[in-house]
Structure 1
């Protein structure tokens, strides 16, 4: 199949047009894939041609930036780039800016990020995307100053859009402060190292062909692929035959010195050990066993982790649980998709009474919920998406969920996923991740303690409450998808009747949606 296409590609099933282009050989290690494939979000040939040209230019600019040597930006260029972002946002949203409260909230978040010196986490990803779209590779100091200017520009844009939302469309008198952006003169491209017989990125892809057939999760593949891309970028070449133990040690030290752009904090040693080093060891071990490499250069290289300071229990407190459920029940959709609004309302309640993982809840389908006698049963199955154990399990819904109207909500939905919409090509991974992240962000607005995980806190709480009320351990484990503790626990089945008897022991979370008072 020819991937270097010069015109939009029409999906044979959906009719949606796509941009598709093969990634050049010298950039595949850095980008981490062999093809750029981007939905043009239209079935109109005319609209597709316009969108195709725009995305083609952006892709070429990204590739140019990745090939270029970092060059400093002048202050005028930095302000001009911030102006580009300002104009893009105002142009994209100005005609339909929505409720003024949206922009009041955005402004509040902007000022909070500034007050807590979180501009790197808040603005850093936007800056990186802007630089790539413009084809710019710059130095750390220029990037830092661009973060500051983009912060100012987006606050200015949010204020303009708030006025637009209030019906005030007078021109922004300060918009002229941004100079015109002029494309910098091209800089020399960085040399690309030649590869030997086996490439590092190729090892990951070959490993995945076997691992996917054996049931390995896509998340593991994504983690290994991202780690290898970072390793290749650190080395400056993609030749597996040239790797030494010193290279791995150097990469480990490099990663420990890096800053996470989302949090503004250094990469944690646990992440480097459990994600980066573990990924390299696994891929290299596979390469050795498949005669791609003669030895595993990551063998014996590790990080000794100290015991993590524990400041609180892992589960939600009574107060946190009630506050979160109250916020979820009273959530009212704004301009978000109805399925996402439903996810914010129902998934916290489902997690509270099932102890399921948030990813398992956001991928639920209508056909996964059924009535068996007097009980409503929810099936968590790999057919719907990702299940950590690769095994389907059943959970009986608590009577309170039935009283709150969850079965009625199910009846009102069409067949298919309740809380997300698959991508035009039928894949779920992207929409699933987006839905999960949006729910997590919603939870974080209520439970702000960074020492408790925003959704996993329910799994710990259900286990704690289950023990307090005397739920049978084996049934509690089966409900949450935990492995049997002994060989004897694998004998016999945890039936719907057994589940119903134990789930009924969980106390109700009483939330008064009228007075907004809650109690256990």
Structure 2
């Protein structure tokens, strides 16, 4: 095991002269590939790791409780770098996978426990025969007591202390086997403690999950994998195995201590693994990506973007079958991308992860935002694996719970346009003086912001409208509306929807009619135009790609705050409804195309157009806008 120090936290060492240090040995195979920085939140400093046989980070305190808190800041970062280095060393290996089994028989549990017992005694043999490669647990004790690896008596004393500690842990495990299977649980803050520190329920749960990802190094999970099998955490046979492993470990460490006292305890002969890992474990991530495209029919741009992240995952973790992908792979992939630049040069986009990281460090480039890694890098892999899960290619989605826990300031908050912003925009050259810019897509530069202001619709939803999607009332009492429900795959007039709930019909506000929208639509109809805004130029499957960039430049002249974008119209409509219209529950969701948030709202066929129209027409920004 070798993950416990005397105070219960792995790698947390109290120095003889006082004060605490995070001390960790680096396996020789990782020394040349381990690299990265560890941020120390309490001081703002950063520590580089890698290239040495140990990681030593002073925690700057003599207080154990404060040291444990700082350990929680340091350990997840170091763990991520170590996992990334470990996976880099595996990239050239043939892909293997453990087998998911439905249960373990008593004889199989006994077999695995006997292998565990034998491995501990065999490891002790290696330590005696190869004194230049002491076990991690022995080196940790030597560090604590400032002993030398060349001092035979000091090494024997360190081995005795190390095995005694392991023995104490295993004896506790006999009383709480479930804790043995989840060693980090005692060091994860409780929800109550996090709430007391001012965290919301959502934030507290996210924090606990982030710690689980790095602390829950399951001894039983490793033992199972070493025997070529896997079992769900809540399986009763896994609990039985935990108890058997704890008992085998107690016997083994007691026998090692007897050896140190001179007893001739023999190491049993080797035992085969329970089930050799299989070499062909189903589809690869590339296969899963192709299946996702077939099932979801994404735009060409989205499919290409997801493909880029698939290749980066493979570059970071190896081309392994999706059944072999674990949470640790995803965490390593996540942390590898945290060293990527915000903007990758075009000649490096197909380069390896390591090459891109090296370029980033050499050029001191601004790093990719962690929110982007969460939403795009992990989000794309998670979406692909979600389809694989649906088709029983995998049992769980390993991406769950792997996103960075974002701190205040890391989340790019989109703010709504204020009254002053809207006044500035409607008085700007395009809307007030009829000026048109080449990159603005013709009349789209006038109507897209106005439609967004009076519907709250997403930019791409508006941009992809066809002339036939705009239906005006033919007689009194009818409702004019945008058809944002129909999906069409016809080349040249494709319509796609972001989510199922985004398929909807949205009434046309009278302010748009007053500004001449009906006349514009009729002119497009007579001209034989398919698209309502034919001068928008599609790019990689997205109609408003160019317009979005143009609007960012144009609107920034009137609205300086970079947190305000075209999507700020949608935020403003949401606020306007809440504060002014105050519609019945669900009406705002229906107009905006948001997911239903409760069971009741999922019943029936939804609100009729008349009800939605009555609410929408009450949307009013005042006479100056």
TM-score after normalising by structure 1: 0.51
CA contact (8 A) 2:436 2:445 kept: no
Q: Would the alpha carbon gap of residues 493 and 256 (structure 1) be closer, same or farther in structure 2, given more than 3 Å must change? A: closer
Alpha-carbon distance between aligned partners in 1 of 2:344 and 2:411, rounded to the nearest angstrom? 23
Deviation of the 1:410 alpha carbon: 0.9
For 2:463, the equivalent position in structure 1 comes to 362
Q: 1:224 aligns with which of 284, 306, 309?
A: 306
Q: Write out per-residue CA displacement over residues 54-109 of structure 1, whole angstroms, 9 at most, x where no aligned residue.
A: xxxxxxxxxxxxxxxxxxxxxxxxxxxxxxxxxxxxxxxxxxxxxxxxxxxxxxxx
Match for residue 615 of structure 2 among 498, 502, 507? 502
Matches within 5 A, 1:149-228: 198-212=283-297, 221-228=303-310
| 2:274 pairs with 1:274 | no
Query: Which among 470, 482, 503 is matched to residue 392 of structure 1?
Result: 503
Match of 1:240 in 2: 321
| Residue equivalent to 1:352 | 453
Q: Which shows bigger deviation, 305-314 or 412-421?
A: 305-314
| Post-superposition offset of 1:386 | 2.5
Alignment of 1:58-137 (within 5 A): none
Partner of 1:142: none
Structure-1 separation of matches of 2:304 and 2:333? 19
Report the Cα offset of residue 436 of structure 1.
Answer: 3.9
- How far apart, in 1, do the equivalents of 2:482 and 2:306 lie? 33
Matched, 1:255 2:337: yes
In structure 1, the gaps of 5 or more residues are: 1-191, 511-518
Deviations along 1:173-206, one digit per CA (max 9) or x if unpaired, are xxxxxxxxxxxxxxxxxxx979876543233112
Under a length normalisation based on structure 2, what TM-score does the superposition of the two structures give?
A: 0.43
CA contact (8 A) 2:414 2:568 kept: no
Counterparts of 1:280-319 in structure 2, within 5 Å, are 280-284=381-385, 287=388, 301-308=402-409, 314-319=415-420
Superposed CA deviations along residues 350-403 of structure 1, whole A, max 9, x for unmatched, are: 111111111111111111112213553222233352322335322222222111
Report if aligned partners of 2:457, 2:592 keep a CA contact under 8 Å in 1.
yes
User: What is the RMSD of the two structures over their aligned residues, measured on CA atoms?
Assistant: 3.8
Give the secondary-structure state (helix, strand or coil) at the position aligned to 1:429.
coil
1:230-267 CA distance string (max 9 Å, x none): 223445x5453886665543322221122211896321
SS in 2 for 1:499: helix
SS at match of 1:205: helix
- SS of the residue aligned with 2:404? coil
* Mapped partners of 2:570, 2:371: distance in 1: 22
In the aligned structure 1, how far is the partner of 2:438 from the partner of 2:332? 47
Tell me if structure 2 keeps the 8 A contact 1:353–1:506: yes
Shift of 1:348: 0.6
Match of 2:541 among 420, 424, 429: 429
State the shift of 1:322 in Å. Answer: 1.6
Q: d(CA) in 2 for partners of 1:469 and 1:284?
A: 42
C-alpha separation in 1, matches of 2:291 and 2:413: 43
Asked if the contact 1:315–1:459 (Cα under 8 Å) also holds between the matched residues in 2, the reply is yes
Distance 1:256 1:348 in 2: 35
Equivalent pairs, count: 312
Alignment match, 2:554: 442
- How many Å apart are 1:276 and its aligned residue? 2.0
Contact 1:421 1:431 in 2 (8 A): no
- Structure possessing the higher radius of gyration over alpha carbons: 2
State how far apart, in whole Å, the 2-side matches of 1:459 and 1:278 are: 23
Question: Is this contact kept in 1: 2:504–2:591, CA < 8 A?
Answer: yes
Q: Which residue of 2 aligns with 1:332?
A: 435
Deviation at 1:226, TM superposition (A): 2.3
Q: 1:417 aligns with which of 509, 525, 531?
A: 531
Change (3 A) 1:469 1:300: closer
Identify which of 556, 571, 591 aligns with 1:460.
Answer: 571
How big is the shift at 1:421?
5.8
- For residues 14-39 of structure 1, give each alpha carbon's deviation from its aligned partner in whole angstroms, at most 9, with x where no partner exists: xxxxxxxxxxxxxxxxxxxxxxxxxx
